[in-house]
Amino acid sequence: MINNPAVDLIVGGGNPNYDSNGQPRATPAFANETGTGRGYMSQTAWNTVKDPSKWQLLQTKAEVEAAA
């Protein structure tokens, strides 16, 4: 999905740097490349989402409001 040029917006919960209570993790939790494991997404997918040449990653309420 994140590599599909027809996609303009992806909304989802989960950040490998935070636990389910919103607390920072000492070590990011990534899923393995097949989508299973202890994290929400793979490290490859996370790196793609964070790449500013491909996506604009909005992580705060203020960033979302400013982009609306």
User: Structural domain boundaries of the chain?
Assistant: 12-68
Residue 35's pLDDT band (cuts 50, 70, 90)? low
What's this model's pTM, rounded to 2 decimal places?
A: 0.74
Name the β-bridge partners of 24: 18
pLDDT of residue 28: 92
**Separation of alpha carbons 59 and 6, rounded Å:** 22
Judged against a pLDDT cut of 70, whether residue 42 lies above it is answered with: yes
Closest by Cα among 19, 37, 17, 13 to 27: 17
Residue 22 has pLDDT above 70, yes or no: yes
**Residue holding tokens 């027809």?**
6
Strand partners, 31: 37, 42
